[in-house]
Structure 1
Amino acid sequence: MTPRTLAAAALGVALIVVMAFAAWTGLQRAAGTEFVPVAAYPGFRHLASGPGGASAGGAAMVGLDAAERPAAPAPGELCGLIWSAPGVPAEGPPEARDRIAVFSDANCPYCRRLDEIVVDLAADRPDLRLVHHEWPVLGEGSRLAARATLAAAAQGAAEPMRRRLLAARFVITPAYLAQTAASLGLDPDRLAQDMAGRRTDAALTATARAAETLGFLGTPVVVIGGTVATGAVSRATIDRLLAAEAARPDAPCR
């Protein structure tokens, strides 16, 4: 190559880099995004101003029978807690590039709408990985509902149980859970046993550790790639954040 050819090639590469950065920046602006990085966890960040509409609850480590608070996870372990924790219901290909994790409480009214949005999105996007975290922050009824949904997963009915309990407009009780299990064709005795089982404990612990590590304050919370958004996130915002995450050079957990 002549010096002039080398210079032209270098200029072409530089233009490609500039255009890629401009596209990535444009996606961020299009989403109306300003981010706050999560200390000690490179690539994770919070949407600086959420959409509003969130139910505040208690401490992150609620819903657990264990008395001791576990240590903060390493960055690699945090990815596992969010995307592949045993017992946490998920759908879509595990190796998917585009991933959404939803943290919800059965008694959170905003969670009902977000659940509808992400279920419809998953139906439109079979290539999407969708993880459903039960994070009960609104009292004993929420804790029972979370355990029931996780236990229903053992009988292949996590989604119908979750949707039934999200739609409930009254205090969730053991009697109502037994009735609901029977109406869904589940074994109520097995459900009660699995609700108190180690796998359910482990799933709740994984969810609570992820929530505490990332500083969640209420429900719903959606994690899109490495971006955390709290509150009533719209389908349009989710689509924009998915695009922005796909263009990130520093997205975690890939």
Structure 2
Amino acid sequence: MGDPPGFRRVSGGSISAGGNPFVGLDGASDTSPNLPIADVREDICGSLFGNEPLAGDTVPVASFSDFYCPYCRIQTKELADLEDRMGGGIKMVWHELPLLGDSSILAAKAALAAKRQGAYVRFQERLISTPFRATPGYLEALSESIDVSYPQLMADMDSEEVLQEIRTSTALAEIFGFVGTPALVIGKTVVQGQTSTSTLEDIVNLERTEGWSRVC
């Protein structure tokens, strides 16, 4: 890829395409947000993978998904299983890219709010395993079932911190040219579309061999 430099793109499979992830968010400033494109470009690896140092030959994997994208649901489970199987061999970083309407936006905001209570993974596991769409009533029941404070969840959902996290993920999607979900950045390899577990493992091993961190 010429932009951003140092990254490469490989073909993936099926995607769910959508629209602007900010349509439907409360507040005029949220429907036409000023995406932090310049800031993200200055620290693209930190924006993708976080700034915590990685141990040894760990390969970071940034996943961009929508809770109601059927391909994302399958791939999210496969990525979680891969992380468990590889131990510290990969580090998963989950980005919310809610492209499929109001329920997607509500679920994304709730997931990021749950993360503030240390419950992102539990929330994610429960939500991707249910056919129900996110509603305030369902989120309240889900919060109670995983020991999350629902009043705090609701307060955090509309916080500037949560909205800024979605803006950052959206800016990354703009920079990498993602037109739908799922999408991945594995080290320096960019993949748009659902990808087999064997291909994911091959890319992780290639990134480990080549040294992904030279792009950062």
**Given the two structures, how large is their TM-score scaled by the length of structure 2?**
0.87
Note the aligned Cα RMSD (angstroms): 2.2
Contact 1:94 1:129 (8 Å CA) reproduced: no
Matched pairs, number: 208
Evaluate the alpha carbon distance shift between residue 80 and residue 54 of structure 1 in structure 2; reply closer, same or farther with a 3 A threshold.
Answer: same
Aligned counterpart for 2:33 among listed residues 24, 46, 68: 68
Contact 1:60 1:209 (8 Å CA) reproduced: no
Structure 2, unpaired ranges of 5+: none
List per-residue Cα deviations over 1:189-227 (Å, max 9, x = no partner): 011001111221121111111111100011111110111
Evaluate the alpha carbon distance shift between residue 157 and residue 171 of structure 1 in structure 2; reply closer, same or farther with a 3 A threshold.
Answer: same
2-structure distance, mates of 1:63, 1:209? 18
2-structure distance, mates of 1:58, 1:252? 33
Q: How many angstroms does 1:167 deviate by?
A: 2.1
Contact 1:106 1:142 (8 Å CA) reproduced: yes
Q: How many angstroms does 1:152 deviate by?
A: 0.5
- Say which structure, 1 or 2, has more relative contact order (CA 8 Å, 6+ apart): 2
Contact 1:108 1:219 (8 Å CA) reproduced: yes
- Give the match's secondary structure for 2:103: helix
Q: Are 2:171 and 1:205 equivalent residues in the alignment?
A: no
Percent of matched pairs sharing the same residue: 36
Structure 1, unpaired ranges of 5+: 1-36, 86-92
Q: How many angstroms does 1:71 deviate by?
A: 5.2
1-structure distance, mates of 2:123, 2:114? 7
Aligned counterpart for 1:80 among listed residues 41, 46, 51: 46
Q: How many angstroms does 1:66 deviate by?
A: 6.2
2-structure distance, mates of 1:45, 1:95? 21
Partner of 1:225: 187
Aligned counterpart for 2:76 among listed residues 115, 119, 124: 115
Evaluate the alpha carbon distance shift between residue 252 and residue 135 of structure 1 in structure 2; reply closer, same or farther with a 3 A threshold.
Answer: farther
Counterparts of 1:143-154 in structure 2, within 5 Å, are 143-154=105-116
List per-residue Cα deviations over 1:65-112 (Å, max 9, x = no partner): 263333533644221211117xxxxxxx74144111111101011111
- Give the match's secondary structure for 1:53: coil
Aligned counterpart for 1:95 among listed residues 54, 78, 81: 54
**Given the two structures, how large is their TM-score scaled by the length of structure 1?**
0.75
Q: How many angstroms does 1:247 deviate by?
A: 3.2
Contact 1:225 1:252 (8 Å CA) reproduced: no
List per-residue Cα deviations over 1:141-160 (Å, max 9, x = no partner): 00000011111011111011
